[in-house]
Amino acid sequence: MTLLTLETRSLTLHRYPSTTDPNLQAWDAADEYLLRELTAEQLKAATEQGPILILNDSFGALACGLADYQPVAISDSFLSQEATRRNWQSNELDEQQLHLQDVLAPLPEAPSLVIIKVPKTLAMLEYQLLRLRDVVTPQTRIIAAGKAKEIHNSTLALFEQIFGKTTTSLAWKKARLIYADVEEKAPIANPYPTVWPLENSSYQITNHANVFSRASLDIGARFMLQNLPRQKKGVMIDLGCGNGVLGLMALEYNPEAELCFLDESFMAVASSQQNVAQNRPQDLARCQFRASHSLSGIESHSVDLILCNPPFHQLQTITDEIAWQMFKDAKRCLKRGGELWIVGNRHLNYHIKLKRLFGGAECIASNSKFVILRTINR
């Protein structure tokens, strides 16, 4: 829990999922800088001219701070949306004024104010700015923010190319603001999603802008594909599915299994669904696609096999807490005799966590960088 004190209110904010690290809080200096920059008079005037959009709010600090002005919070993260809901409720804000939208949905037309937390990848920023270009007007005010060390010349060049004249503020608490004017510009085609051929197959893989390893097969997934289980039956889950390439090949190798693709990224779930539809449309009937936090919503003792390439970061924070949550959820959701298959970097020592939860793990394969582990729920 952290307390963010603003001119008009103080907010009690929590990260989601919760963390045991006392150094991690639910807002950062970029959030505070943005909220200090926007006066009540400016915000009131903006609401009279058009909608206010917030992009990439991490845990709802911006949405809660601007709750009086009915902003539309747009994110690719299920976790971010859930954090915003929880923080909205814990601060007793009017739930009728909470408007959440996933990043692939149509944007509101003619926004008066657009507030952007600069995302981790330049591809995601480019995708979002190009989509905004279709709805903003010369009267739209655009303000972005991020850690000063993460705002590069390429970041500013992208704003300049897509919108027009771009300037930056002085650094404050190691954060910086970006201001962009909307000028007349020739239309620029949005290059996302990208499509590339999956090696050693006839499949074409579609990746939305915010999906990991957007332009090619990542080396961990490549190693896992060489060692996927085959001829399994029952319910299988591709947990943290990304573009769904593991689940896609699992459909081919396990023709009697049902596949559920889960990820906290709406773009990842959409990529997975599109990849099955394009490459194995005959298998769509035995698939489910869902944005979620780990295995939340999955019935206990209902799953036969889980495939997982766990993330070791949340936003810009390196952490193993999400992987640990995935393993605990797998323990809850697997049937007796159900299997969890994991690929991970060797140095992450996932076998230690699996021994604590499951009593041990078998090494299916390893190389100089990765290890594939299988554990059975006994």
pLDDT per position as a tens digit, 246-269: 999 999 999 999 999 999 999 999
Q: Which of 302, 55, 79 is nearest to 180 (CA)?
A: 55
DSSP 8-state assignment for residue 378: -
Work out the angle at residue 213's Cα, subtended by the Cα atoms of residues 211 and 218, and round it to the nearest 5 degrees. Answer: 135
Range in 24-28, 100-104, 280-284, 303-307 the model is least confident about: 24-28
| Confidence (pLDDT) at 23 | 82
What is the mean pLDDT of the segment spanning 57-83? 96
The residues that bridge with 117 in the sheet, in sequence order, are 145
Report, as an integer, the average pLDDT of 314-333: 77
Kindly indicate the confidence band of residue 319, based on its pLDDT and cuts at 50, 70 and 90. Answer: low
- Return mean pLDDT, the chain: 93
Q: What residues contact residue 189 under an 8 Å CB cut-off, 6+ apart?
A: none
Place 18 in a pLDDT band, splitting at 50, 70 and 90. Answer: confident
Model confidence band, residue 353 (pLDDT cutoffs 50, 70, 90): confident
- Of the pLDDT bands very low, low, confident and very high (cuts 50, 70, 90), residue 314 is very low
Going by pLDDT thresholds of 50, 70 and 90, the confidence category of residue 38 is very high
pLDDT given at position 89:
96
pTM of the model: 0.94
Spatial strand order in the sheet of 175-180: 99-102, 72-75, 52-55, 113-117, 141-147, 175-180, 166-168
Over residues 135-159, the pLDDT tens digits come to 999 999 999 999 999 999 999 999 9
Q: How confident is the model at residue 212, as a pLDDT?
A: 86
**Once rounded to an integer, what is the mean pLDDT over residues 4-14?**
85
Write down the pLDDT at residue 378.
Answer: 87
Average pLDDT over residues 181-204: 94
Q: Is the peptide bond before 191 cis (omega within 30 degrees of 0)?
A: no
What's the average model confidence in pLDDT over 166-170? 96
The Cα–Cα gap between 269 and 173 comes to 36
Average pLDDT (177-190) is: 95
**Among the listed residues 292, 294, 288, the one whose alpha carbon sits nearest the alpha carbon of residue 276:** 288
* 343 touches 225 (CB < 8 A): no
Token pair of 291, please?
A: 């944005």
Of 5 and 364, the structure prediction assigns the larger pLDDT to: 364
Structure tokens at 190: 């949005």
pLDDT at 285: 97
Please give the share of the chain, as a percent, with pLDDT higher than 70. 97
pLDDT, one tens digit per residue, over 265-299 is: 999 999 999 999 999 999 999 999 999 999 999 99
What's the mean pLDDT in 210-220? Answer: 87
Per-residue model confidence as pLDDT tens digits over 102-123: 999 999 999 999 999 999 999 9
On the question of pLDDT at 318 being above 50, the answer is no
